[in-house]
Amino acid sequence: MSPTSPRIAIVGVAGRMGRTLVAAVEQDAQARLAAGIVEPGSSLAGADVGELAGLGKLGVAASDSLEAVVDNFDVLIDFTAPQVTLANLAFCAEHGKRIVIGTTGLSGDELAQLDDYKAQVPMVFAPNMSVGVNLTLKLLQTAAKALGDEGYDIEVIEAHHRHKVDAPSGTALKMGEVVAESLGRTLKEHGVFAREGQCGPRSDNEIGFATVRAGDIVGEHTVMFATEGERIEITHKASSRMTFAKGAVRAARWVAERSPGRYDMQDVLDIKG
Ligand SMILES: NC(=O)C1=CN([C@@H]2O[C@H](COP(=O)(O)OP(=O)(O)OC[C@H]3O[C@@H](n4cnc5c(N)ncnc54)[C@H](OP(=O)(O)O)[C@@H]3O)[C@@H](O)[C@H]2O)C=CC1
Ligand SMILES: O=C(O)C1=N[C@H](C(=O)O)C[C@H](O)C1
C-alpha cells in the first residue's frame, strides 16, 4: 500500500455492504482502511472492524461518531439509508471530505438535495457500483433505441434478498430511466409500478416494474423487450456483494483525485456517452 493511497472511512461498517467494503479495501493495494463508523450509541462501537467483517483484527476500532474520526480519512464510503447519507454529505461539505454514495431509495427531493453539494464536494453517487451493471446500462441504451419505438413492450424485473427496504431497487429505476431517456419518455409519465385486479391491458409506451423479495438473493435485474413472436431479455445477476464493494473502492480512489462535482460509475469507468 502506498502512503499516498486515499484513507477510506466506511460508514455503516457493520451492515451487509459495510462488512464487504472492509474486505474490499483490505484487498486493494491502493487504498487504506482508516475508519469504520456505526450508528450513534451502537453496542458495536469500539469493536475491531476486521472482526466485524470476519477477517480477524485489523487494528481499526469502530466509532459511533464521524466527528471523532474526522482527521483520519480522505474519502467516506456510505451505504446506509437516505437521511443518514444526506447528513454525512453535509458533514463532508463542512469538513472538505470526498464521498462515494451507494445508498438507494432516495426520494426525488432527496436526490435533488445531492446537487446542493456538488459545487463543494467531489462525490460519486450510483445505485449500483458493479462494472457489469454499468456496462448493462450501455447495452440497454442501444436496445431501447433499436426496439422501443418498434412495438416492443418494455418491462423491468428485479429480485433481491428479504431484508431490502426499498422497491423497486435503485438499479431497476436507473435501468428504467436509461431506457425511457433513450426513447424520449419519462418514468413519471410512463412508469407503471403496480398492477392488480382489473387493471386493463398494458399501453404501448408504458415501462413496467416488477419486484421480487426472497431469501438471500444478492441482486438480479432483467429488462425485457417483448413483441409478437420474440422476446429479448438483458439480465445482470450479482452473486456476491464483493462486485459492488470493489466498484465502490475503485470509485473512492478515483474521486480522491477529482474536483467537486456529482459523478456516477460511468464517469469512474470512463464509459459515458
Ligand atoms: N450502489 C450499490 O452498488 C449498492 C447499494 N446498496 C444499498 O446500500 C444500502 C445499504 O444496504 P445494506 O448494506 O444491505 O444494508 P444494511 O442494513 O445491512 O446496512 C446499513 C448499515 O447502516 C447502518 N447505519 C444506519 N444509520 C447509521 C448511522 N447514522 N451511522 C452509521 N451507520 C448507520 C446500519 O446500522 P444498524 O443495523 O445498527 O441500523 C447498518 O449497519 C441500501 O440502500 C442498499 O440498497 C446495496 C448494495 C449495492
Ligand atoms: O439492497 C441491495 O442489496 C442492493 N441494492 C442496490 C439497488 O437498490 O439497486 C444494488 C444491488 O442490486 C443490491
Q: Where are the alpha helices (DSSP H) in the chain?
A: 16-27, 49-52, 82-95, 108-115, 131-147, 170-182, 187-190, 242-255, 265-269
Fold that domain 7-125+241-269 belongs to in CATH? Rossmann fold (3.40.50)
Does the annotation list 127 as a binding residue? yes
pLDDT digits (tens, 9 = 90+) for 22-77: 999 999 999 999 999 999 999 999 999 999 999 999 999 999 999 999 999 999 99
Query: Looking at domain 131-238, which CATH architecture does it have?
Result: 2-Layer Sandwich (3.30)
Secondary structure letter of residue 236 according to DSSP:
E
Residue 170: nearest ligand to its CA?
Answer: 2
- Find out whether the beta carbon of 126 lies less than 6 Å from any atom of ligand 1: yes
Which ligand 2 atom sits closest to the C-alpha of 172?
9
Grid cell in block for residue 21: 467494503
**CA dist 126 to 158, 170, 189, 242, Å?**
17, 8, 23, 16
Which ligand 2 atom sits closest to the C-alpha of 164?
1
Distance 82 CA to ligand 1 centre (A): 9
pLDDT at 209 over 70: yes
The per-residue pLDDT for 197 is 98
> Average pLDDT of the chain?
97
Distance 169 CA to ligand 2 centre (A): 6
Which ligand 2 atom sits closest to the C-alpha of 105?
8
Q: Rounded to whole angstroms, how far apart are CA atoms 235 and 157?
A: 9
- Find out whether the beta carbon of 261 lies less than 6 Å from any atom of ligand 1: no
Does the annotation list 104 as a binding residue? yes
pLDDT digits (tens, 9 = 90+) for 116-171: 999 999 999 999 999 999 999 999 999 999 998 889 999 999 999 999 999 999 99
Q: Rounded to whole angstroms, how far apart are CA atoms 252 and 233?
A: 32
Enzyme catalytic residues = 160, 164
Query: At residue 165, what are phi and psi to the nearest 5 degrees?
Result: -100, -15
The per-residue pLDDT for 2 is 65
- Find out whether the beta carbon of 249 lies less than 6 Å from any atom of ligand 1: no
Secondary structure letter of residue 41 according to DSSP:
T
Does the annotation list 158 as a binding residue? no
Residue pair 131/229 in contact by the 8 Å Cβ criterion: no
Domain boundaries, the chain: 7-125+241-269, 131-238
The per-residue pLDDT for 66 is 98
Distance 228 CA to ligand 2 centre (A): 32
Give the predicted TM-score (pTM) of the model. Answer: 0.98
Q: Rounded to whole angstroms, how far apart are CA atoms 212 and 218?
A: 12
Is the backbone peptide bond immediately before 122 cis, with ω within 30 degrees of 0?
no
For the question of an ipTM over 0.90, the answer is: yes
Q: Rounded to whole angstroms, how far apart are CA atoms 171 and 90?
A: 24
Closest CA relative to residue 209, chosen from 242, 177, 172 = 172
- Model confidence at 240, pLDDT cuts 50, 70, 90, reads very high
- Find out whether the beta carbon of 79 lies less than 6 Å from any atom of ligand 1: yes
Does the annotation list 119 as a binding residue? no
Q: Rounded to whole angstroms, how far apart are CA atoms 88 and 202?
A: 42
Distance 209 CA to ligand 2 centre (A): 15
